Amino acid sequence: MSKTGSTTIQHFLTTTPLNDFGLHAISSFGLGNSWKLPAASGTPTAQRYWVRNRGVLTKAEFDNLKTEVWDHLRQELADHTKTSDFIISSEYIYRQYFGQYKALVRLQKNLLKYFDDLRIILYLRDQRSYMRSLYAQQVVGPTQSPKSFEEFFDHYKTAESGWNYQRGVQLWSKVFGAERLCLVPFDYRNFHQGDLIRNFLGHMSSEAADRFSTSASKNISPGYRQIQANRIVNRLPELARRPASYLLAGLSRYDAIGNLIGPKDFPSDFDDEILDLVSEGNDWINTNFLQEYAVKLPVKAMAAQPAGQQTA
């Protein structure tokens, strides 16, 4: 899923000699975020994202990718002579296959044509923290959204793929088998030595995890006040945005002015409502998949524990 360390993992995959770990990143799916695999799903969500919203593909290219990506994989595997575990990472796959049973069955059949077995690692983030990080990305990132947190939350509630983990996990379990799923609550207290990459590698090879030495930094989401300052800037004409952002960044250091922009921390106004949405499903996942972890997904009984700042 997005907002669960995918940038850190993909940086590792694209900058590390993976042969040293007995691994091979599949270039046919798109090095880095393996975007071609979800784009090849043919789902309405994928078409809307890659054709209409991003403009990465034309409609014809989108349709052709459904077969092209597997032709390219066949050739890549034929050219690869070393014994390796093949590996990909993508923040798009879960969402663009969400609720799409037939597309997921096609994915499973195609993958098992080429690989002896599959292991699917799914990092699940506290939905309260996930929503805040996603909101920060929408406002501070390229989208430059001027929406308030309340407006964003109203939309978030309708986007079930962002919070109903139970529905997603049940579908993947049905199609791929629960024994192939490795679910991990995205919290550094759950990772060996607090290291995401070591945890990621450990699901494939304990030897690879032991040999890895990290120097990666954590990608921290901006604070609520900074996000609100960006919202103000996003409402301005484009030519005025850069000087206004510098001005607000300077002024917000002074508490009296910063408090007018917004509080330093995210409001917890919607936490209870989020827990109402997710508690039943999270409890099911905690019981069936996450018994071994110290930090599990939030449920109402844990509501007194606030959602901490997580890495994006």
Q: Is residue 311 part of a domain?
A: no
**256 with 292, same domain?**
no
Q: Which domain holds residue 242?
A: 224-261
Q: Is residue 179 part of a domain?
A: yes
Phi, psi of 174 (to 5 degrees): -65, -40
Give the span between the Cα atoms of 62 and 258, in whole angstroms.
46
**97 with 245, same domain?**
no
175-180: long-range contacts, CB 8 A cutoff, minimum separation 24 = 175/101, 175/104, 175/105, 175/107, 175/108, 176/104, 176/108, 176/118, 176/120, 178/288, 178/289, 180/117, 180/118, 180/119, 180/120
Q: Is residue 307 part of a domain?
A: no
Coil, strand, or helix at residue 171?
Answer: helix
**96 with 233, same domain?**
no
93: which 2 tokens?
């796959």
**38 with 107, same domain?**
yes
Count of domains for the chain? 2
pTM (two decimals): 0.81
**99 with 237, same domain?**
no
Give the span between the Cα atoms of 312 and 248, in whole angstroms.
24
**185 with 128, same domain?**
yes
Give the span between the Cα atoms of 130 and 134, in whole angstroms.
6
Helices (H), ranges, 16-141: 36-39, 44-47, 59-79, 93-96, 101-114, 127-140
Give the span between the Cα atoms of 248 and 254, in whole angstroms.
10
**234 with 163, same domain?**
no
Q: According to the model, what pLDDT value does residue 181 have?
A: 98
Per-residue pLDDT in tens (0 to 9) along the chain, 312 residues: 888 999 999 999 999 989 888 899 999 999 899 999 999 999 999 999 999 999 999 999 999 999 999 999 999 999 998 877 999 999 999 999 999 999 999 999 999 999 999 999 999 999 999 998 898 888 887 777 888 889 989 988 999 999 999 999 999 999 999 999 999 999 999 998 889 999 999 888 777 777 776 555 555 566 666 666 666 666 667 656 566 565 556 555 555 455 545 656 777 888 999 999 999 999 999 999 999 999 999 999 654 455 554 444
**DSSP assignments along 112-169, one per residue:** HHH-S---EEEEE--HHHHHHHHHHHHHHSTT-----HHHHHHHHHH-GGGT-HHHHH
CATH of residue 184: 3.40.50.300
146: which 2 tokens?
């001027």
**29 with 135, same domain?**
yes
Q: Is residue 312 part of a domain?
A: no
**237 with 181, same domain?**
no
Give the span between the Cα atoms of 75 and 110, in whole angstroms.
14
**106 with 134, same domain?**
yes
Phi, psi of 23 (to 5 degrees): -120, 155
